[in-house]
Amino acid sequence: MRDVRHLRNLVAATAPGTTLKLEILRDKRPTTVTATIDAQAEEPAAEAAPAATTGSRLDKLGIVVQRLTPELAKQLRVDAIKGLAITEVSDDGLAAFAGLKQGDVIVEANRIPVATSDDLARALTKSKDSVLLLIKRQEASMFIVLRW
C-alpha cells in the first residue's frame, strides 16, 4: 500500500462479502491474515449533516463546519454543548488525511473552546505550522494534531 488512502480506496472498491488474504508486518515479521469486507455501516452524521452552503469552508483544513445546535448534537450523538460540526470533508485536505469525518465535532482548537467558524479561523491564524483539535465523535473524545 502506498498510504492509508490507497488502502481505503481498495477496500471501498471491493464488493461486500469478499474474503481477502492480506500479508502484513507484525513485530517486523510477515504474517498472513484473512479479512472479509463488510458493507459500510450507515452513519447518522451523513443524514444529519446540513447542506454545505450553511457552513463555513475552512480551506486550510479542507472542511466545512456548522455551529453545533442542541438538535444537531442529538442527531450526531455527541454530548458537546458548544462546538463546530464538520459537515463536509475534502478528500485531499489535511482533515481527511488525519482521519476526521463528516459528523465529527470540533470542540477546541489549541485548547481554546470554539463555538463559531470565526473562533476556529482565529485559532488557525495564530497557529504557525500546526493546530491541536479536540474532537468529539459520538461518545468518544480525541485530540488530533494537524500540521501544514
pLDDT digits (tens, 9 = 90+) for 41-69: 544 443 333 333 344 557 878 999 999 99
Architecture of the structural domain at 44-147 = Roll (2.30)
pLDDT at residue 56, as a whole number = 53
105 within 8 A of 136, measured Cβ to Cβ: yes
Read off the pLDDT band of 74 (50, 70, 90).
very high
Q: What is the 3-state secondary structure (H, E, C) of 25-72?
A: EECCEEEEEEEECCCCCCCHHHHHCCCHHHCEEECCCCEEEEECCHHH
Of residues 84 and 92, the one with the higher pLDDT is: 84
pLDDT at residue 53, as a whole number = 37
Radius of gyration of the chain, Cα coordinates, nearest whole angstrom: 17
SS3 of 126, please? Answer: helix
pLDDT at residue 4, as a whole number = 67
The residue ranges of every structural domain in the chain are: 4-36, 44-147
pLDDT at residue 33, as a whole number = 87
What is each CA distance from 81 to 69, 74, 78, 102, in whole angstroms? 8, 10, 9, 18
Helix (H) or strand (E) holding 94: helix 94-98
Q: Classify the C-alpha dihedral 54-134-99-70 as positive or negative.
A: negative
